[in-house]
Amino acid sequence: MYDDNPTLSGIRKEIDEEKQGEVFFREQTLPEGGGRHFYIESYGCQMNFSDSEIVASILAEVGFSPTREVERADLILINTCSIREKAEETVRKRLRIFDQVKSRRPGTLVGVLGCMAERLKAKLLEEEKLVDLVVGPDAYRDLPALVSTAEEGDKGINVFLSREETYADISPLRLDSNGVTA
């Protein structure tokens, strides 16, 4: 896609395919059993992986900690875009698996983040009923409020696009200690 752009000659944008579906996790020392946990899988473009780090930072501010174990999560998120091939099919499969986790663990919330969330919100929320949250890429700051809304039994939805949102004041939680994410 980027290779044929004459304004970007010599620049190649490559996404390591092995990173697709990678679970966000940062080692933390936490008291046993303390706090709520979130689980994020990222698919799609590199921006989604970066956005997952921003989301992790926002969730950490309100007391969530990352987990690699989906069965332990109070909040399960899948961050994806609709540009990558097979992304929609993969996300639907994962959401069906997360739905099974929800049935075993009542109270667990499932959400879709990113541009696919914006495009498929009605289908995911109303037709398939696979998610509790649908959050577009410019609404991550609203995630704590949307989680609260979903915990009260309503659907948490914000897919409005913003010309101003940059998340410049948020320090992303990096996947590893040296700050490298890909």
The answer to whether residue 135 scores a pLDDT higher than 50 is yes
Q: What are 3-57's pLDDT values in tens digits?
A: 443 433 443 334 455 555 555 555 554 444 458 999 999 887 777 788 888 899 9
pLDDT in tens, 72-99: 999 999 988 766 567 777 888 899 999 9
pTM above 0.75, yes or no: no
CA distance 139 to 111: 13
The CA-atom distances, in angstroms, between 52 and each of 32, 35, 79, 112, 161 are 25, 20, 7, 11, 18
Residue 127 tokens read as 């037709």
Find the largest Cα–Cα distance for the chain: 54
Angstrom distance (rounded) from CA 117 to CA 92: 12
List, in order of start, the domains of the chain with CATH numbers. Answer: 34-158 (3.40.50.12160)
At 67, list the tokens. Answer: 């987990």
Which two three-digit tokens encode residue 156?
């948490």
